[in-house]
Amino acid sequence: MRMLINVPETVVADALRGIAAAHPDLTVDVENRVVVRRDAPVAGKVALVSGGGSGHEPLHAGFVGPGMLSAACPGEVFTSPVPDQMVRAAAAVDSGAGVLFVVKNYTGDVLNFEMAAELADDEGIQVAQVVVDDDVAVSDSTFTAGRRGTGATLFVEKIAGAAADEGAPLERVAAVARQVNGSSRSFGVALSSVTTPAKGSPTFDLPSGELELGIGIHGEPGRERRPMMTSGEIADFAVDAVLEDLRPTGPVLALVNGMGATPLLELYGFNAEVHRVLSERGVTVARTLVGNYVTSLDMAGCSVTLCQVDEELLRLWDAPVETAALRWGR
């Protein structure tokens, strides 16, 4: 096992200590596994709280800050955070205007956030929830009932976060988040397996010279395996899978996302192919984001997420953001 760690048992705690050292604008509670904007709670502002298993960095702690999340709850690697974390985070950021939970559609996350919402309500915290389920690869998978939540989580957190920072009420922030989720679709491809610190070896077998089309961010099976394809061929398959389901009638945001071990050189080359396919299909790209944002530890591969936007969603996307992983306009 070649990993830059001490021992598997302390991987998440060690990473949180590192986040605290690198980002003094965040309050990091290593023991209770909560990352909070240092200026929280912000008077009169709806707070956004998200979280999930670690191993997908910079999701979610890397998206905490002005214009995006108010707090994040990292679980153990590929394991949901627990309700106590979520309630603690909600209490730390609630200004009285309410809290929106952004939840990726994985069974553990959904159940624990639902329980946390009930506990928060008992403490007088108004909570709304949006479940992100953008992955078109499969209808059900190892960890989910229904579609998996993947790259659209970034779009939801950024756009709803901007609405919250502008002072929109909880009902409006939640409606924006649901609109973004409903307008987004994703498809992922794996070129290698993923290795978790606890296991120390690949979690599934992907023979050399093959790839998995439709992989999940925990290594869940996709649609099919094929011999290795070119970047252009992968873009044709992935973008067509998204467009077949999304069928956009207007401009889109495009996220070309790396799974963790794919160099930017390759991602930018893949982005060129994605834009080629979209142009050939008559789809206008309003904005593009390229990089490793919703990852799967050391998996090589990529995903494509498209979100159809109107003028209001595009304005909120362009609004200032200041987090560890996304920064513009400030």
Indicate which residues carry an active-site annotation. 56, 218
Q: What is d(CA 45, CA 305) in angstroms, rounded to the nearest whole number?
A: 29
Nearest Cα to Cα of residue 21 among 34, 30, 31: 30
CB atoms near residue 126 (< 10 Å): 16
- Give dist(CA 39, CA 45) in Å, integer: 12
Contact (Cβ atoms closer than 8 angstroms) between residue 263 and residue 237? no
> Which residue reads 């799974």 in tokens?
259
DSSP labels, 194-216 = -B-TTT-SBSS---TTEEEET--
Helix 107-122 to helix 83-93 angle (10° resolution) is 50
Cis peptide before 60 (omega within 30 of 0): yes
